[in-house]
Every structure is written in structure tokens, then in C-alpha cells.
A and B are shown apart, each in its own frame.
Chain A
Amino acid sequence: MIFPIAVSVFVFVLVYVIIALNLINKATISILGVSILLLFGILTLEEAFASINLQVIFLLTSLMILANVTKETGLFLYFAIKLAKIARGDPLRILLLLAVLTAVTSAFIDNVTTIIMYAPIAVLIAVELGITPVPFIVTMVIFSNIGGTATLIGDPPNILIGYSAGLSFGDFIMNEGILVIIVSLVCLFLTTRIFGHQIKTTPERMQRIMNFNETSVLTDKKKIIQTGFVWFWVIIGFLFQDMIHVNPTIIAMSGTALILTITRSSPERFFAEVEWITIFFFIGLFILVGALEKYMIINFLGNNLIAVTQGNTTLSAMVILWGGGILSGFIDNIPFVAVMIQLIHNLNESNLLAQESNIYWWALSTGACFGGNFTLIGASANIIASEMSRKSGYEINFREFTKYGIVYTISALGISTIYLYLRYLI
């Protein structure tokens, strides 16, 4: 029994460290870890396959295809330009409106796609205004991570938590959504204080923004209507998931099939654009955590956590929230959440209050998602945005991002602490 436990723990820790140090691609190393477990007979092939949560895999894949088809319509570009014009070309107002747009979009579309869609137009607007795009990039990254926290489909950790804890899209909106609105308002205020003085421009420059013709980006109006129609029903499906008793994966898959059919989009192209790295990373991770579960390692960790917190719900929730937040700033939050999910199941078994209020789940979701804002390497969206910025001639280094990230993240986690306490513990 010692050998399989040792190998499971060793492989998991090794994969975790390699991902944290960014030594090998995360999909490659997690699949390699799985191969080791299978070769050593730690798991059988059947056990490995049974560990994969196919609902999560298909939900992620479907959402990626939906997002990519929507991206093609130019609708997101239209929204961004329209908001810049509503702001009359004023840099601070544009920054705040783009932050809100990013947060709302991130609630429904993964953060990386959101950043890929909005960061370029933000850079272009900043260049036209004759100011540095860095405040725009940093703010949009921060708000994409905040916005993603609001829904079941906004951030991969939420998908994992939602499926494992049986929490619906509506549950996330009613619990995390409200918190996200409060945190966003505070962070918008912070943005005005942090960046307001850095982004001044001239009326001539503002006029350049007003000269943009946003309607010209909408080249295929029929496709926009079709895409909007599908998204409308997908969101309705998610919102009323509890009433109609349809699994979110089925809703997303149906939406994907419908959007590809009615827009007559090339499936080859959109299937090719699926982020297979993320998908295979998830598959590998499910199996690696499956091995920890099989050999009761998660149980062991859970019991120790209970011992440390002495079963105190408030203390446990704060450890999960702040521990998750800080760790997520430095390491990938997905493997962390995957392990924590099993731990929380154990904690909930011995704590009826926590089980009924779902406080540990909300603490985990909040910590893992908001924590991505701590540092430049805290989330994939941060890395993508900084890379995009660097290629455009505006370097955002680890130190500079972290300087802003710490302020936003500590504020967000502080507000979350108060929110969780007032809402679930009193």
C-alpha cells in the first residue's frame, strides 16, 4: 500500500512543481504524470477513464467553440468601440467602461478569450490617445479575473466546483455574482485612484476616437442575429437550469451544435481553435487527483485540515479563501481547486453549517479566482495580456503587474472576507 501512495503523491507533487515553475507545458506534464501512474499500475485504465469528468470536458469544449464563433461576428469589437465613443474619447471613462465590459464578458466567456478580444482594441485606443496602454491592459486583466468569478462558466475553477458541489449557474449568480458586483465597484474606484493621473490626453486625440466608425466592423449582420439568438437561449438555459432540469453541459453542447448549424460555420476551423492544451490538462489532472482519492490521500489531508482548524467553520473558510487566493497568485489554480474540492467534501461531512451554506465552496471559488490577480503569473489571461503588450512594444514585467495586482487582490479578498462572514456565518 505504501508504494502506490508514495508514487501517487510523488507524481502529483512533481507535476505541480513543474507546472508552477513553467518547465514543461502543463498538458504535456500532466499526461506524462498519468502515463507514469498507468505504467506502474497505480491506476488501471478503467479507473483512470472513470476519473475524468466528461461533463466538465464537454462543457469547456462547447463554450470555447461558442466563444470563437461569436468572436468572428465582430460584436465584441463593436461593443468596445461603442463604449469608447460613449466615453467621448476620455481616457479614464474609456478605461472604466472597458473594465466593466471585460468583467461582464468574462462572466460568460473564458478569460483568455476575453483578453484576446479586448486587449488589442484597448492598446489601439491608448496609442491613438497618445498614452501608455499599460493601465488598460492591467485593468482589463484584473477585471477579467473578477468577472469570471461571477458565474459557473466564467472561470474553469468554477466549472470544477459547480459540478462537484452540485451548484447551478443561478447559485453562482446569487452568491458569487453579488460579491463580484461589490468587488467590481470598489476596484473601479481603485482604478480611478491608481491610473487616473497617468492617462491624460488632448482634445485632438479624443477626437481621433470619436472618428472611429464602429458599425463598419459588423460585416455579417445575419450571423450576429443568429449568434445572439443562440446565446440568448444558452443563457436562459443556464439561468433556469434548476427549473428545466437540464445539465449545463447539455445546454452548452446544444448551443454549440445550433450555432455551427445555423451560421453554417466551418466546424474544422472552430474545432481546431479549441484550446486543446487546457482540455488535455484537465483530463490529466482529473486522473492524477483520481489516484490521490483512490489511496485516501485526500481524506488524510482533509482530516489534518480539520485538526488544524479544529472544525471552526469561520477559520476553515478564511484559510480556504486566503490560502487559495495567495497560492493562486503563484501557481495554477486549477490543480489546487481539483485537490481542494475533495478536501472540502471531507470537511463538509463533519460540518452541517458549512454543508448547508456552501460557504467553503464560495470561499474556494472566490479565493482561487480573485487570487489570479495577485501576480503576472497568477492566471493564463495575465500572461497572454502581458505577452500581447510586450509584442506591441509595451512591456509589463512581473514587478509592475504585481505592484497593482496586490492592491486589487487584497482589496477583493478583504471584501470577500466581510461578505462571506456577514452572509454565511452570522
Chain B
Amino acid sequence: MRNLASFFNPSYIVLGSSVKNKTEGVRFLVRLLAQDIHELDVDTICNTILERESLYPTTYANGVSIPHTRIPQYNNLTVLILIPEKPIWDGDHEIKIFFLVLTDQAKSNLYLNVMAGIAKLSQNPEWLDFIINAPTQQNFLDRVKSFGIKIESVIRIQDIMNTAYPKLSPDASVKDALDCISMTQKPYIPICGDNDELLGEITIHDIIAIGLPPYTNFMKNLSFLISLEPLEDMLKRESGIELHTIMRKPSIVLAPDTVIIEGLFQFLKNRHRSALPVAEGIYFKGVLSYLELVNNFLRV
């Protein structure tokens, strides 16, 4: 169980902002996030949030506004907080504090629990006043922490996995795989069928292994070579070698609802792996890599 405060980042807490209305508040926060995540489409996200707000407003009588949306392939759960220097009006209610919650479809468990935590905080007027008057971001966090609101969530792989991970079809070539690795900087590629069935996986090692056949594994080193026929051959034929000829069946597949401890354990047990595929039955759902573990779990 994690304290609600652990989901807030001091960089994303804005105290005493001069925004004049909800639209400005939302835009301000999304732009703030976009300073760190450049690929965010600020206008689209703002429009989505505001459209939703026009249909189902999230401003409550206690002065709390919780606009939120799911951004496809966002692969994170971020709460941005804004406290206007003066309360601003939104329909019939004043907004004293914004909690903008952004996530993607896969993190539904954690997302709902965090929303519930914010709602619990908002329901206590004394707590709310106490945090609205916090003089600094750190103090804001300390005050939230002091309430002891726990997020009743077992963190599962689906909460932190990368759903926007690149994948290739078995008919793709080694050239495609090398291009993909080069462009995305990810050395692991899941191989999926037309309906997203997880068929196999390849890593940069599998590609190198075409050029360095098994007999080279038995040698102490290959430093005596300045060229090697199979490697030269592989580089010449990279467009003609289809991935289904070199892909392996994934040795470990995590289910989305697997608890994070098991994910950590599998990484520890399989030290040579940088990523593990996540699938529900036979269908690919995402990838858990070191990056997600660090950014979405260990660093939080």
C-alpha cells in the first residue's frame, strides 16, 4: 500500500497560479507536463479533457476539480495539481484546487484507486484547507502524507507496463527489426500475429546469432578475426531473412494482473533480459522493461 502523496510529484504542483478559468487551468497543467514529455499533443489532450468536462463536469461543491482523461499509449499515471491564487468559478461551483489525472487504459486499477484517494482527501474540509494553504510544494506533499491516506492497490504489471511498445509481424525481415531497434532504441521486440497474438520474441542477441553461429560460442574469443563469412552473409541478406525463422517462443510471459513483485523477481532470475512480454492468454498486451520498472515503480 502506498501513501497518496507518493503519486504526486513536486514538479507538478503549482501553487498560487494566476489562471482565470478551468480551461486555462487545464491547459496550464498539460503544457507543464509537455515540458517533460515532448511528444504529448497538448491541444488534443486539452480538447479531450474539456469536451469531457462539458458533458460530465468534475468540479464539486467543496471546491475540488478533478479533470481526468486516458491518453492512448501514454503509459503512465500522472497527477498534476494547481491551486489558483484566487478561487475561480466553474458553473455553480468555485474551484480552489485542481487535480488533473492523466493515465492510459492499461492502468485502470491504479487510476481508479488514486481517484478514490483524492476523493477521500477532498471530502474532509479541514484537510482540504490545510493543503490549499501549503506554502511550498514539499510542504504540500508533507501535509498530504500526514493524512495517511493509503491507496488500496496491489500494483500489478498492467499498471506500469508499456502498452505502446513496438512490435513486428513474423513476416517482417531482419532489416525491419534492425530499423525498429535503431529507431526506438529498444533491443527487445515482441513478434505478434494479425490479431495481436504473441507468437514469439527476438532480441538483438538473436540477430547477432545469425552472424555468429553456434560453433563460435565454444571459442574463448574471436579477436583473431577481422571478418567472418556468416556475419558478412547476414548483412547482405538482412532484407531476405524473415523473423519467423529466428524468433524464439517467449520463455517467460507475464499476465497483466501479475503482481509487481513477481515481475521484479523474474527480472532478477533472468538477469540477461531487458524486457518481458505481457500477454492475456495468447494476446499481447504490452512489455515490462527495466525502463517501466524504474520510471513507474522504483523511482516513484
Instruction: Determine whether the beta carbon of B214 is less than 8 Å from that of A392.
Output: yes
Residue of B nearest to A211 (CB): B226
Chain B residues within an 8 Å CB radius of A120:
215-219
Residue of A nearest to B226 (CB): A211
Extra contacts, 19 of them, besides A217-B224, A388-B218 (Cβ < 8 A), are A74-B221, A77-B220, A77-B224, A81-B224, A119-B215, A120-B216, A123-B215, A124-B219, A124-B228, A127-B213, A127-B229, A128-B228, A128-B229, A211-B226, A211-B227, A216-B223, A217-B223, A392-B215, A393-B213
Chain A residues within an 8 Å CB radius of B215:
119-120, 123-124, 388, 391-392
Residue of B nearest to A78 (CB): B224
Interface flags for A368-404 (1: CB within 8 Å of B; 0: not) read: 0000000000000000000010011100000000000
Q: Least Cβ distance of B220 to chain A in Å?
A: 4
Within 8 A of B (CB), among A173-224: 208, 211-214, 216-217, 219
Task: Tell whether B225 is near chain A: CB-to-CB under 8 Å.
Answer: yes
Chain B residues within an 8 Å CB radius of A393:
213
**With A and B bound together, what is the CA distance between A119 and B220 in angstroms?**
13
**With A and B bound together, what is the CA distance between A71 and B220 in angstroms?**
8
Q: Least Cβ distance of A81 to chain B in Å?
A: 6
Task: Tell whether A72 is near chain B: CB-to-CB under 8 Å.
Answer: yes
With A127-B230, A128-B229: A212-B224 Cβ-Cβ less than 8 Å: yes
Interface flags for B222-252 (1: CB within 8 Å of A; 0: not) read: 0111111110000000000000000000000
Number of interface residues of A (CB under 8 A): 27
Q: Least Cβ distance of A406 to chain B in Å?
A: 27
Query: Among the listed B213, B216, B223, B230, which residue makes an inter-chain contact with A213, where contact means beta carbons less than 8 Å apart?
Result: B223
- What number of A-B contacts does a CB cutoff of 8 Å give? 60
> Top 7 closest A-B pairs, CB basis?
A120-B218, A120-B215, A216-B223, A123-B215, A391-B214, A74-B220, A392-B215
**With A and B bound together, what is the CA distance between A48 and B216 in angstroms?**
43
Interface residue SS majority, chain B: loop
Within 8 A of A (CB), among B182-228: 213-221, 223-228
Chain A residues within an 8 Å CB radius of B226:
211, 213
With A72-B220, A217-B220: A212-B225 Cβ-Cβ less than 8 Å: yes
Chain A residues within an 8 Å CB radius of B223:
213, 216-217, 219
Chain B residues within an 8 Å CB radius of A219:
220-221, 223
With A392-B214, A393-B213: A208-B227 Cβ-Cβ less than 8 Å: yes
Q: Least Cβ distance of A76 to chain B in Å?
A: 9
Task: Tell whether A305 is near chain B: CB-to-CB under 8 Å.
Answer: no
Q: Least Cβ distance of B144 to chain A in Å?
A: 51
Within 8 A of B (CB), among A91-136: 116-117, 119-121, 123-124, 127-128, 130
Provide 30 A-B residue pairs closer than 8 Å at the C-beta atoms, listed in order of the A residue: A71-B220, A72-B220, A77-B220, A117-B218, A119-B215, A119-B218, A120-B215, A120-B216, A120-B218, A123-B215, A124-B215, A124-B228, A127-B230, A128-B229, A130-B229, A208-B229, A212-B224, A212-B225, A213-B225, A213-B226, A216-B221, A216-B224, A217-B221, A219-B221, A388-B214, A388-B215, A391-B214, A392-B213, A392-B214, A392-B215
**With A and B bound together, what is the CA distance between A77 and B220 in angstroms?**
8
Instruction: Determine whether the beta carbon of B216 is less than 8 Å from that of A124.
Output: yes
**With A and B bound together, what is the CA distance between A211 and B227 in angstroms?**
9
Interface residues on B, range: 10 to 19
**With A and B bound together, what is the CA distance between A216 and B223 in angstroms?**
6
Which of B216, B221, B224 gathers most chain A CB within 10 Å? B224
Residue of A nearest to B230 (CB): A127
**With A and B bound together, what is the CA distance between A388 and B225 in angstroms?**
21
Residue of B nearest to A123 (CB): B215
Chain B residues within an 8 Å CB radius of A74:
220-221
Chain B residues within an 8 Å CB radius of A81:
224
Q: Least Cβ distance of A144 to chain B in Å?
A: 15
Instruction: Determine whether the beta carbon of B227 is less than 8 Å from that of A121.
Output: no
Instruction: Determine whether the beta carbon of B219 is less than 8 Å from that of A121.
Output: yes
Instruction: Determine whether the beta carbon of B213 is less than 8 Å from that of A77.
Output: no
**With A and B bound together, what is the CA distance between A117 and B131 in angstroms?**
71
Which of A71, A117, A124, A391 gathers most chain B CB within 10 Å? A124
Chain B residues within an 8 Å CB radius of A391:
214-215
Chain A residues within an 8 Å CB radius of B225:
212-213
Chain B residues within an 8 Å CB radius of A121:
219
**With A and B bound together, what is the CA distance between A117 and B215 in angstroms?**
10
Q: Least Cβ distance of B64 to chain A in Å?
A: 61
Q: Least Cβ distance of B165 to chain A in Å?
A: 31
Chain A residues within an 8 Å CB radius of B214:
388, 391-392
Q: Least Cβ distance of B254 to chain A in Å?
A: 30
Chain A residues within an 8 Å CB radius of B216:
120, 124
Which of B218, B225, B227 gathers most chain A CB within 10 Å? B218
Within 8 A of B (CB), among A45-99: 71-72, 74, 77, 81
Q: Least Cβ distance of A398 to chain B in Å?
A: 21
**With A and B bound together, what is the CA distance between A269 and B4 in angstroms?**
48
